[in-house]
Amino acid sequence: LAFLAVALCVFIVVVVMTVMTGLVSDFKKKNHAFVGDCIVSTKSLVGFAYYKDFIKILEQTDFIEAISPVIKSYALVSPSWTDKGFGLEVMGIDAVNHSRATDFGKTLHYRKDEVSKAFEPVYDANLLGCVVGVDTRINWKLRRDANGGYSFGVTPDQIAFSISCVPLTSRGALAKAGTDMVNTKTFYYSDASHSGLARVDASTVYLPFEWAQRLCGMDGSDKRINAIYIKFKPDEKLEAGCQKV
């Protein structure tokens, strides 16, 4: 009996370790797919300027395959179906460039094969679109089925989102004063993004790069961003590439 008890304990430990190893490996793969090989960033919402000069330098190297400048901030998102506003993270990206540097394009549902049209709603290409994380509270119509999948419609619902950001100067001060302290723009639901990362899918809205830059007040004479996502060429090792950057 003692032998069986020990054997059972060992078996349980092996099973748990195997499952945990698989979960950790899957989590690492999904994170890598979301962020790419390397990120140059700042935690400050102010961002940093002169990124175009730095990108030109990176483009001249022989170990980088793709580069994507990114705007990251927070916004109050008010869907047309409710009077409530939801605090969410916004990412301003160029869909094509970002899909080259990361696996963003593969996370889309409606425009997976037409990434260049990610911000063009299928129901009206003239409207300004946004891509919404599948598990965000503003994506309320998406429900999981018995197998854990999402019940997407043939086309995305025509839902408008009023997105408001507080613009900041390069010194971190409010760019506007008085009652007009925020920048607001209406976007329309164009696609859903499923990265497989719970925190990301539940809290992120993706906007066209130029519009995110305007909303966050980063479109001045010295334009600013918050991060640069980088993908190395296949023969470049991650650690070596990051050190070179």
Q: What percent of the chain has pLDDT over 90?
A: 66
Closest CA relative to residue 191, chosen from 89, 135, 118, 106: 118
Is 0.85 surpassed by the pTM of this model?
A: yes
On the question of pLDDT at 95 being above 90, the answer is yes
- 70 within 8 A of 229, measured Cβ to Cβ: yes
Q: What is the dihedral of CA 195, 199, 205, 208, to 10 degrees?
A: -60
pLDDT, position 192: 95
Residue 178 pLDDT level (bands cut at 50, 70, 90): low
pLDDT, position 139: 77
Mean of the per-residue pLDDT values of the chain: 89
Give the pLDDT mean for 49-68.
Answer: 96
pLDDT, position 179: 62
Backbone angles phi, psi at 30, to 5 degrees: -65, -40
What DSSP string describes 47-107?
-EE-HHHHHHHHHTSSSEEEEEEEEEEEEEEEETT-S--EEEEEEEE-HHHHHHHSSHHHH
Partners of 79 in the β-ladder: 161
Q: How far apart are CA 106 and CA 117, in angstroms?
A: 13
Give the pLDDT mean for 110-133.
Answer: 95
Q: Mark residue 172 as left, alpha or beta (left: phi above 0; alpha: psi -120 to 50; beta: remaining).
A: left
The predicted-structure confidence for 221-234, as pLDDT tens digits, reads as follows 899 999 999 999 99
pLDDT, position 18: 67
On the question of pLDDT at 26 being above 70, the answer is no
On the question of pLDDT at 11 being above 80, the answer is no
Q: What percent of the chain has pLDDT over 70?
A: 87
Q: How far apart are CA 55 and CA 227, in angstroms?
A: 11
Give 142 or 179, the one with higher predicted confidence: 142
Partners of 74 in the β-ladder: 89
- 230 within 8 A of 243, measured Cβ to Cβ: no
The predicted-structure confidence for 142-173, as pLDDT tens digits, reads as follows 776 767 778 788 889 899 999 999 998 888 88
pLDDT, position 29: 86
Domain spans of the chain, in order of start: 1-35, 37-244
